[in-house]
Chain A
C-alpha cells in the first residue's frame, strides 16, 4: 500500500458569524468539524455529501484558501519532508502551492474572461518558474494544451470562444502547469452536460495514470464518484460518517446516511431490482446549530436517545472501512 500524500488530523474550519452594530461575534458555522482522513499517493479519494455538508470547505482548507480553526494538514513534499500546511504562513505556503492545485466547479467563472487561454495556462509558470525563457514557456503551454485534448493553436483564443467542456480542459491545463502531485477537484463536472462529464472524467483518469496524480475528488453525485474513486469518504454536517474502499462502501454501506444516499442513486435500467428507497425526513440541520451527539440523529431512521449523548467515533467495521455509527 502506498504511503499517504495528505493526512488530515482533526481538521476544523469554523466560520465566525458577526452581527449587530459593532460586528460582535455572535456565533459560528462549524463547516468542517474535526475531520481526519488520509489520501494515498496515486489514488483518488471521493468525498461526497449533500450541499452544505462542508466538502467544498474541506477542499478549500487543504488549499489554504481559508482560515483553519484547528487540526493539522500534513502534506508530503516532493523532497519527502512532511509539512503541516495548517501552520504555514502565506509566504511559506507559496512554494507548496505548485505541488497542490485545484480544479474548479464552474468553468464559466474559473477562467479570467480578459485573458487568452495561452496566457491563462502560462501564468502559473510565470510566477512559479520565472527562470523559464519565453520560448520554453510557450512550448510548455502548447504541450499542456495537447495533454488535455486541445490544440496549441487554441492558445490565442479567449475563454468565451470555448464550450464548457473545453473550458474545463483549459482549467485542468492551468492546474497541471506547475507539475502538481495533489489535485483538489471541487465538483469538476457538475456544471457540465452529462455527455461531456464522461470525457472530462476520463481525461482526469488518463492524466492520473500518466503523471501519477493524486486526486481529492469532491462531488455530490455518487455515480460519478464511483467510477473514478479508489476510496470514498462520506461527509454529513462537517463530520465524516463513513470512509473506506469504494467497492466496499458501495456494496456494504454501514452508516444509515450512506445507505440512504446510495438508495437514491438512479439506476439506468428501470426493470432492475433495486433496494428499497430510504427516504430521509426533514432538512439538513443548520451547521450553525448542530444537534448534540451524532449530527445525523435528527434524520436517522434508527436513532436512539443515546445518540444525543456523544459524537460517535469512526469505528473500523472491516479492513480499512470505517463508519461513525455504533448502532449499525
Chain B
C-alpha cells in the first residue's frame, strides 16, 4: 500500500471513536444478516404463552405483545433499516453528485438554476418533505420510503459536490487539463471526481445514519414499510403503544437505532479526520 494509504488506516484506526463506530456498524450489519438465519425462528409470529416477557435466556431481548422474540425482530428489522439507509443514500449520490458536479463545472445559469432548486428543497424541514414525498409515491411501502428518504438527501450531495468542484476547478492541474484540450468528460471524471471522493465518502457515511433515522421517523408516523414488517421505526411505534405493559418492546429497537446512527456518525467523523492530510497521525 502507498504511504498515503497506510497513513489513512493508521489515523482512522488510531481514533478510538472511529473504531467504536466501525465496530458498531459491523456488529449491527453482521447480526442483521446472520442472526435471523442462525436463529431459525419466525420473527413474524409468536406464541400466546410468552407475551410481554422481560429479557431471559430463551429470549435475550424479551418478547412483544404477540409473544414474538424481540431480539430476532430487532435484527430482522435491521435488515430493512440498514437496507433503507444504504440504498437511499446510494440514490441520493447517484442523482446528487452529477447534478452538483455539472452545476459547479459549468457555472452560469445552469448552476444558478440547479442551486436555487436545491435551496428550495432545503427550505423544507427534511421530515416534512419526506412525508409529502411518501404520500406522493403512494404511501407506506419499502420503495416509496427509500425513494423519499433518498430524494431528501439529494441537496446535500449536490451542494457538497458543487463546492468541491468549484474549489478544484480553480486548481492549476485542471487548468493544465484544459490547456491540453482534454474533454469535459475526462476532466470531470478523471480529474475532479477522484479528488472529491474523500469528502463525499464522509458525507455519505454520516448521511446513512440520518437516512436510517429519517426512515424510522416516517415508519413511526405510519408512513413506513408495509404493516407487519418489523422495521425499527415501526417497532418503536408499536412499543410506544405498549409502553405501559412492557418497556422492552420499544427499548431494544430504540437502542439498535441509536447504535447504528451513532456508529455511522462516529465512523464518518473518523473518516473525515483520516482523509484530512493536515492531520498527521493524531490520536484521540
Contact = CB atoms under 8 A, between A and B. Distances in A.
A277 interface: no
Interface residues on B, range: 20 to 34
B168 to A, nearest CB: 10
B47 interface: no
Given A98-B181, A104-B175, A111-B173, 8 more contacts: A23-B112, A65-B178, A105-B172, A110-B173, A112-B191, A124-B180, A161-B3, A174-B176
Given A109-B173, A161-B3, A101 B195 contact: no
Given A127-B182, A178-B180, A109 B171 contact: yes
A104 B172 contact: yes
Contacts, number: 58
Contact of B176 (A93, A100, A102, A158): A102
A123 interface: yes
Interface in A104-132: 104-106, 109-114, 123-124, 127-128
A101 B2 contact: no
Contacts of B180: 97, 101, 123-124, 127-128, 178
B179 interface: yes
B186 interface: yes
Interface string A217-230: 00000000000000
Contact of A160 (B4, B172, B186): B4
Interface string A158-192: 10110000000001001000100000000000000
Contact of A102 (B179, B186, B194, B195): B179
A113 B179 contact: no
A112 to B, nearest CB: 4
Interface of B: 2-4, 112, 171-173, 175-182, 186, 191, 194-195, 277
Contacts of B112: 23
A127 B185 CA distance: 13
Contacts of A98: 181
A238 B176 CA distance: 24
Nearest to B184: A90
A15 to B, nearest CB: 13
Contact of B179 (A97, A106, A158): A97
A112 B173 contact: yes
The 10 closest A-B pairs by CB, nearest first: A110-B172, A97-B181, A94-B181, A104-B172, A112-B173, A109-B171, A109-B172, A114-B194, A63-B179, A102-B179
B195 A104 contact: no
A127 B186 contact: yes
A59 B12 CA distance: 43
